[in-house]
Structure 1
Amino acid sequence: MELKFEITVIPVSDVDRSKAFYASLGFRLDADFTTARGLRVVQFTPPGSAASVTFGEHLTEQEPGSARGLHLVTPDLATARAELVSRGVDVTPIWHDRDGIFHWAGTANRVDGPHPTATSYGSYVSFDDPDGNEWVVQQVVEKLPGR
């Protein structure tokens, strides 16, 4: 069986404000349509990604801002962070997990600075969208075998 992850729906309170935010990140706008019955679908794809985020009207019953741990990956975390900052995003400084394996929820176990020995999978920055949906950007220079 072949299955590819295509989209995740994120809960937002103001669709147009969110649309402007994701456009400001440099994400590609793939769709923005409203059905006759009021279902609105807005879809964006991050640069270089095969998966997209979707938000709109009547798409989810989740509370706006309740999406946590949405992950993006980049081979150059410092450059990605600098570009996000230049686009007006409030991004954390680079951090890593004290245990060195993925990361805990929220800010628990965070240590300032990049992981001292890992070039891949160990260093992160994070930011929230206007509703508080949490995005984590992880540095991955070289993927583990089979990924």
Structure 2
Amino acid sequence: MKLKLEMIVLPVSDVDRAKNFYDALGFRLDVDYTANSEFRVVHFTPSGSECSIIFGEGMTPLAPGSIQGLYLIVDDIEEARADLVSRGIEVSEIFHDANGLLYHGHEGGDVTHPLADQERRAGLHPERASYGSYVTFSDPDGNGWVIQEVKQRLAGR
């Protein structure tokens, strides 16, 4: 069976503020529909993505800002960070995973996600390896995004 991830629901506290943020981010606005005072749906798609985000009134019982680790993939992390900064988005400095666990794989033992502060190292991955360099940002409610540089995908991807 072939499955495609199509949409992610984001919990937000202020729909218009979130709409302005994702518009400034450069996501494409696909839908802004209000059925009544209790239901509004806003649908955005990141440039080049087949998966979209959706938020609004009456969409989810989750607390605003509770979604973390949403990944966007780029082929040039420096260019992506500069673009976000030029759009007024507050974005982290570029960092890499100290242990290289995501890029090199890990057999057994404890695996710490590269977003854990104790595993971050400032700057680009030393070898500029695919899957090795990141920046992070959050929307106004705190929903967390990761941008990861991938220059060459792993086999089968």
Aligned to 1:123: 133
Aligned to 1:91: 91
Shift of 1:130: 0.5
Work out whether 1:46 is the aligned partner of 2:46. Answer: yes
Q: How many pairs does the alignment contain? A: 147
SS at match of 1:35: strand
How does 1:1-147 map onto structure 2 within 5 Å? 1-36=1-36, 38-102=38-102, 103-147=113-157
Shift of 1:35: 1.7
- What letter corresponds to residue 110 of structure 1 in structure 2? R
Contact 1:121 1:139 in 2 (8 A): yes
Contact 1:101 1:122 in 2 (8 A): no
Q: Which 4+ stretches in 1 moved above 4 angstroms?
A: none
Rg bigger for which structure?
2
Identity across matched positions, percent = 54
Shift of 1:119: 2.5
- Distance in 2, matches of 1:90 and 1:37, equals 32
- What letter corresponds to residue 50 of structure 2 in structure 1? A
Distance 1:106 1:15, change over 3 A: farther
- Distance in 2, matches of 1:67 and 1:83, equals 23
- Distance in 1, matches of 2:150 and 2:115, equals 20
Contact 1:69 1:136 in 2 (8 A): yes
Shift of 1:73: 0.3
Query: Structure 1, unaligned stretches of length 5 or more?
Result: none
Query: TM-score when scaled to structure 1?
Result: 0.95
Shift of 1:105: 4.4
- Distance in 1, matches of 2:26 and 2:15, equals 17
Query: Which 10-residue stretch deviates more, 55-64 or 29-38?
Result: 29-38
- Structure number with the higher helix fraction is 2
- What letter corresponds to residue 47 of structure 2 in structure 1? P
